Chains A and B, each alone.
Chain A
Amino acid sequence: MTAAALPTVLAALLPLAASSGGGGHSLPFVGPGTYLIFGIVLAPVYLMVVAWYVGEPSDRSKAWLGVGYLVGLTTVLWGSLFVATMAIDVLYF
């Protein structure tokens, strides 16, 4: 059961999977959140990452270490949540 479910789940995880968003909703692709999240909320993060690479003192390898932490921790966070939810799925649903 697990083995059969896993490929489906992985396919569903692809952001470009056709099923994304449930389909058929007619809301425009650009909404208030587009500007809010990508334009305003995340702006300090963009600035931070840029500052890691330019300006003194900076070091490319340390900047990559920082970016690695950002990407790695995001992956670990959602990856472990994925494992936990899959365990719940197998045991209870």
Chain B
Amino acid sequence: MSVDTTDVSRETLVRPIGTLSKQYLLALVAALGAIGVWVFFYLQQLQHGLIVTNLADWGSGGGVPWGLYIGAFIWWVGIAHGGIILSAAVRLLGMDRYQPVARMAELLTIAALTCAGVFILIHVGRPDRLVTSVLPAWPTRVQWSPLMWDVTVITAYFVLTATYLALTIRYDIHRLRDRLPDQLEPVYAVLMVGYSEREDAIVERMVWWIAFAIIIMAPLLLHGGVIPWLFALLPSMAGWAGGVQGPSFLSIALTSAVSGIIIVAASFRRAYGWEELVPVEVFRGLAKWLGFFGLIFLWLQLQQVITGIFAAPTTLQHATEVKIATPVYWVAIGLVLAAMLYVFACSLRPSLFSIPVLVALSFGVLVGTLVEKVLFVVEGLQHAHFQLYDGVPGVYVPSPVELSALLGTVGIVVLFFLVVAKVIPVVELHAIEAAHEGGDDA
């Protein structure tokens, strides 16, 4: 396979690796600062226990045992899903237009999954037992506990995504090696173990199959499956049980993931002058997906509200009424609605389209989906079917400890991209080859 790319294009591709700007250092300091704030609070939590969060027992305890930690966990997993779904779709369906952002999407997936893992770790009361209790119990518990299904599938999914990245990166490193920093030679040596140009076609086929496995697992079974089942299978809480949670979770995941990819891609484009590498058409396309997924999200919210207030069982009716009486719920809906309306308006009048506006609206969508997720978890717990307790519904306001974890995980994602961008090209070589050759791979 010949590489028919001009030096300029390749220089563009590796531009983040060679340069070191003031903005980069600033971002690095900000990310480390955010992580530092979280670590400070988390050490307090380890010292004193989960009592430092605002969580409490539902029932006579007058609180909620699951809060922002679980809401943010679902949110990060959702962002992770959309990322790899997009990347896998590029490969499977030949959506070459999105090739420039495919690897960023994969990287976002890995970073977001890591954050989801962090939230599990800090959510449990005994993090020291996470491995020693879970692994020995796995063979006897995976058939029963939806939480074990979750652990299993997320592990599988993380491993598949990382394998996908590790295999696809070989092609690029081989061809760009002379432009990559010598100090990192040992890293590349490990990544390239046993490489020969003959393997390209074979590896291409292997990653096609990984993409295939991912595209079946991620939407149908992960964010449309085990994650919603954590809640949908429990009839004790009025707002949780029911089959609509699968589609609903998936719609939220895809909406937030596209937003995340838009933000990441726009950041790189701006930081490294990648106007030609990530052309505006990519953003127009991503915007349409954002609008479409946002529409599905809003439609499923409508379904839940209408079925919850028309003639629902007492507790579900109450839960729904409280939900629609909560102002912050409408903020969440409004943020997604705003993004959707903007995208649709741009379809009618393309001149309205602007990447900064889209990025701003994407931030809004991320906030909106996070709020919706946290509300879902908390309000579900506040409206148990057994509502005789005076303390039900209890009150819940996220504590500084919990909020710091949100800040910290955002910091982790930023740090991840800052580091990775210095080691490997965050855009596949195929992207510029495709641009020059008109797309030569299926």
Residues of A within 8 A of B (CB): 9, 12-15, 17, 19-22, 27, 29-34, 36-37, 40-42, 44-45, 47-48, 51-52, 55, 57-59, 61-63, 65-66, 69-70, 73-74, 77-78, 81-82, 84-86, 88-89, 91-93
Contacts and interface: CB of A to CB of B under 8 A. Distances in A.
Contact of A77 (B121, B129, B155, B213): B155
Contacts of B226: 41
11 contacts: A15-B135, A21-B136, A21-B137, A33-B144, A40-B221, A44-B214, A47-B209, A48-B210, A65-B167, A74-B159, A85-B128
B136 A15 contact: yes
Interface in B183-232: 193-194, 199, 201-203, 205-206, 209-210, 212-214, 216-217, 221, 225-226
A77 B158 contact: yes
Contacts, number: 146
Given A21-B141, A48-B210, A74-B155, A41 B136 contact: no
A30 B140 CA distance: 9
Contacts of A37: 142-143, 149, 152-153
B116 to A, nearest CB: 12
B139 A57 contact: no
A27 to B, nearest CB: 6
Contact of B206 (A9, A45, A63, A85): A63
B162 to A, nearest CB: 5
Interface in B289-345: none
A21 B143 CA distance: 12
Contact of A85 (B131, B137, B193): B131
B351 interface: no
Chief secondary structure at chain B's binding surface: helix
B96 to A, nearest CB: 22
Nearest to B204: A57
Contact count band on B? 35 or more
Contact of A88 (B46, B149, B193): B46
B130 interface: yes
B90 interface: no
Contact of A41 (B121, B126, B209, B217): B217
Interface string B57-82: 00000000000000000000000000
Contact of B142 (A33, A86, A93): A33
A21 B46 CA distance: 26
CB-based closest 7 A-B pairs:
A89-B128, A31-B143, A21-B140, A44-B213, A33-B143, A69-B163, A34-B143
A32 B143 contact: yes
Contacts of B205: 51, 55, 57-58
Given A73-B158, A82-B131, A88-B46, 9 more contacts: A9-B132, A13-B132, A20-B140, A41-B221, A44-B216, A44-B217, A58-B202, A73-B163, A78-B135
Given A62-B202, A89-B128, A45 B136 contact: no
A48 B97 CA distance: 26
A41 B227 CA distance: 13
B148 to A, nearest CB: 7
Max chain A Cβ within 10 angstroms of own Cβ: one of B137, B153, B209: B209
B138 interface: yes
B29 interface: no
A19 B136 CA distance: 8
Nearest to B217: A44
Contacts of B137: 20-22
Contacts of A63: 206
Contacts of B217: 41, 44-45
Nearest to B136: A20
B419 interface: no
Contacts of B201: 57
A70 B206 CA distance: 13
Max chain A Cβ within 10 angstroms of own Cβ: one of B117, B143, B205: B143
Nearest to A78: B131
B19 interface: no
Contacts of A44: 212-214, 216-217
Contact of B46 (A15, A73, A92): A92
B143 A30 contact: yes
B156 interface: yes
A84 B225 contact: no
Contact of B130 (A59, A62, A70, A81): A81
